[in-house]
Amino acid sequence: MKMRVSLAASLLLFINSLSVIAFAQQETAPTAPQSTHLKGHGCVKAGNVSGCYVVNDYKAHRKYNVFFRQTAPDVDTGISFEGIAYGHRDPHCKQGQRVDVTEWKPLESECPKQQKKETSSALREKGNCILARSATP
C-alpha cells in the first residue's frame, strides 16, 4: 500500500513538473516581427555601417534602412520604392526602420542639391579678383 501511494505521488509530481516546464517555454517563445507593405520615396545615402543604405523620406519625416534584392541605386539618387517594412530598427545598420525593397525606380529632385565646397585657394583667388576690381578706377 505504501508503495502505491509513493508511486502515485511520484507520478503526480512528475506530471506537474512537465506542465510547469511547458508553460515556461510558452512564455519565452520569441515572436516574429510585425511586417507591412510600404511605399516611400527619398534620397539614398550610405549608412554608418559598410554595406548599409539609408533612405531619408523628407515628406514623411522617416528614415529607412533599405535592403535591395537586386541592383542597388547609386548613393545620392532619389528613388521611389516599395517593399516589406518591419516594425523595428535593423539590428545591423541601426539607423532606421528595416525595409526589404522589392522594386524601385529613380526619381528626379528627391535629393537636395549640395553645393560644391570651394578650396581655400579658390576662395583667395576670388578675393584677389574682387580686390583688384575694386582698386581699378
Over residues 28-45, the pLDDT tens digits come to 555 666 889 999 999 999
Grid cell 533599405 in the structure block, residue: 66
Q: Are 80 and 42 in contact (CB under 8 A)?
A: no
Residue 90 pLDDT class (50, 70, 90 cuts) = confident
Which carries the bigger pLDDT value, residue 105 or residue 6? Answer: 105
Residue 70 pLDDT class (50, 70, 90 cuts) = confident
Three-state SS string over 52-114 comes to: CEEEEECCCCEEEEEEECCCCCCCCCEEEEEEEEEEEECCCCCCCEEEEEEEEEEECCCCCCC
Residue 75 pLDDT class (50, 70, 90 cuts) = very high
- Percent pLDDT > 70 in the chain is 58
Pairing of strands 53-57, 62-68: antiparallel
Global pTM reads 0.58
Q: Are 79 and 41 in contact (CB under 8 A)?
A: yes
| Average pLDDT over every residue of 101-125 | 68
**HSE of 3 in the Cβ direction (CA atoms, 13 Å)?**
0
Q: Which one-letter amino acid corresponds to residue 76?
A: D
**Amino acid 130: pLDDT:** 46
How far from chain centre, in Å, is Cα 125? Answer: 44
Residue 13 pLDDT class (50, 70, 90 cuts) = low
